[in-house]
Structure 1
């Protein structure tokens, strides 16, 4: 480990590792730390119960980072359509990528596969030092330098400290950045299942009275499920005998894919909305869940984080070309202006959808159902929603533009 790094990234998950790899062909000296043990062992054949719905923009980023072909060789499941309905009323919206000239709307990819290929790329880079089982203990900003003490008592200095360490970010806490938000009265149950009927490369989402139930298509006629329910209900579902769980799951999903076979363990994760009041301070920047965490309703969380990563890289490299200190708060505020408004817009839109679809029977629910049918009948609105979900809106970071041009 060196005494000085241009950039120290705390958090080796998908977002933090993507930023490190994005800097691998530059002259920047990068330190990437992750508090967990990141094994370089080959990926197992069984499916990870944690998956991400990767947008077209994120795919272009992965192409520029040089990991897309590896992911395809392992396991990538494109989806071309999305079908959403409300269980009690039957009101539905159908999205089809062909309607906007796209072969796919997105890709379902296992989280550990994305992280594996990113970390393998980082390990092979000459300008990135990666250490797992290690994190930050304290930091102090002095002019254009940030002095760090790590959990093994080693001390280093960097030009910019990047917090990519999740919604309980130690970097955010040490930087004195406050958060706002709230915990939902829901947890998400995730698992991998097999279905009797083919999923037709379609992402399915059913809105139940207590929260959405999503079936995300995987290879071999498998699906990843995300079942949002009240905390006690999610825990009860996780503890049911397999045959009873399978029957309740198929029934909740209106038997759209026939009978269901549980093919993995079940995991339960509490849900919340949280955002940092500031994304940057002198010498510090936050990306991904350290800056914002949202309801998984539309699967946009990791895509927002990857856009943060690519955007911050653009800002840093442009500042370096101009001879500016990369930890300058004046420089970093460009990143904050670029990403914060977009992230907040998506966050509150997802929160509004969540609240709208868990409304008790009454006038608002009737209006909601009528609105669903209206949106489904107006193609320009559906086109706008699909283009927004692709991530190809507004000012795009260089590596996403380059990935698109290279296709």
Structure 2
């Protein structure tokens, strides 16, 4: 039919996870169409840090290496961290994970989300079998016996064996395919501050748990850092209206002394926190990855890692079931089996941390202290937790 573009797979959503999925599938010699309304805006080396950053674990970095995108990401303001500290504002619990203890050179890298996306898009442009469609958005999805038809708002029509939804928490693909999801809003919001500090480059990320919510420091290149300040939404909104100078003073007053002096607040934003898990990761000729399938409390920074683990699992299934069509339900089931339990485990752990550390009663505080001392005092357990902190088990 004239005007209809035929490909093997359509990926809806060109963020980090969607772009990684499109690139990984293109490396399998598949014809791929990637749909994203706006391509990522350029980000120069002298530009302010992107407010959205991620702590990429070794498993995610391995995937980005395989995709050929990691060298460009690492070369542009990626900040390595070797240690991760977790401590309790309401009690003596204090625990530090060190990559050296498990024979690793690092626990992860803090990177700007847009730099990851830009590197992936740059690699996508090197493939003749990828078509990045921008300037429009999906409007209609029709699943047929042998393929699926997707129509864009500007009238363009594509057909493929499979549509992958990588379009975030409010996924159009998920809703259009009739896949339900369980969700709820947390009682806190996250305020992100991009700051310059008196301290030089650091190799540690830390998180202090308070009854009002966690306070986290993520090192960025040079003397810069990203602060994540979880708090009641009304207090976050009130701080959002402060001047950069007043906001910096408020952060220094509220954060632990480990932060040091804030010399400049370069940018800030805030957003509500929401938990979501799709009832299933697939429907007929439709498959979900990343936040379209699951979103978790970001207190441990594992959201991007879970999304990249989805992509790694998807490619492993495609490779192992090469004799099956992409739209074969057996492929989709195999992908879900690989990912659902791991995503559910991490989601439940984050919920448990959030619930446990927000309680102020003496019994809970004492229990947290004992648990911290147990992990700290039992080397095999501490090493297992260190591997968890570095994301070593994700992507299974």
TM-score normalised by length of structure 1: 0.93
Aligned equivalent of 1:151? 153
Aligned equivalent of 1:373? 373
Aligned equivalent of 1:222? 224
Q: Judge which range, 299-308 or 232-241, deviates more.
A: 232-241
Question: For the residues of structure 1 that align with 2:247 and 2:41, how far apart are their CA atoms?
Answer: 32
Aligned to 2:98, which of 89, 96, 99? 96
Question: For the residues of structure 2 that align with 1:279 and 1:249, how far apart are their CA atoms?
Answer: 40
2:173 matches 1:175: no
Question: For the residues of structure 2 that align with 1:40 and 1:189, how far apart are their CA atoms?
Answer: 24
Question: For the residues of structure 2 that align with 1:133 and 1:213, how far apart are their CA atoms?
Answer: 38
Secondary structure of the structure 2 residue equivalent to 1:256: helix
1:331-342 matches, within 5 Å, as 331-342=331-342
1:91-170 matches, within 5 Å, as 91-170=93-172
Listed as ranges, the gaps of 5+ residues in structure 1 are 397-407
- Change in 2 beyond 3 A, CA 1:192/1:41: closer
Question: For the residues of structure 2 that align with 1:16 and 1:394, how far apart are their CA atoms?
Answer: 18
Query: Retained in 2: the 8 A contact 1:198–1:257?
Result: no
Aligned to 1:248, which of 247, 250, 275? 250
Aligned equivalent of 2:208? 206
Secondary structure of the structure 1 residue equivalent to 2:162: strand
Q: Judge which range, 9-18 or 241-250, deviates more.
A: 241-250
CA-to-aligned-CA distance 1:224-244 (integer Å, 9 cap, x gap): 111111111111222223333
Listed as ranges, the gaps of 5+ residues in structure 2 are none
Q: Judge which range, 45-54 or 235-244, deviates more.
A: 235-244
Secondary structure of the structure 2 residue equivalent to 1:148: strand
1:313-352 matches, within 5 Å, as 313-319=315-321, 321-322=322-323, 324-352=324-352
TM-score normalised by length of structure 2: 0.95
Query: Retained in 2: the 8 A contact 1:49–1:264?
Result: no
Query: Retained in 2: the 8 A contact 1:144–1:328?
Result: no
CA-to-aligned-CA distance 1:363-391 (integer Å, 9 cap, x gap): 22221222223322222222111212333
Query: Retained in 2: the 8 A contact 1:247–1:259?
Result: no
Query: Retained in 1: the 8 A contact 2:81–2:203?
Result: yes
Deviation at 1:155, TM superposition (A): 1.5
Question: For the residues of structure 1 that align with 2:171 and 2:30, how far apart are their CA atoms?
Answer: 24
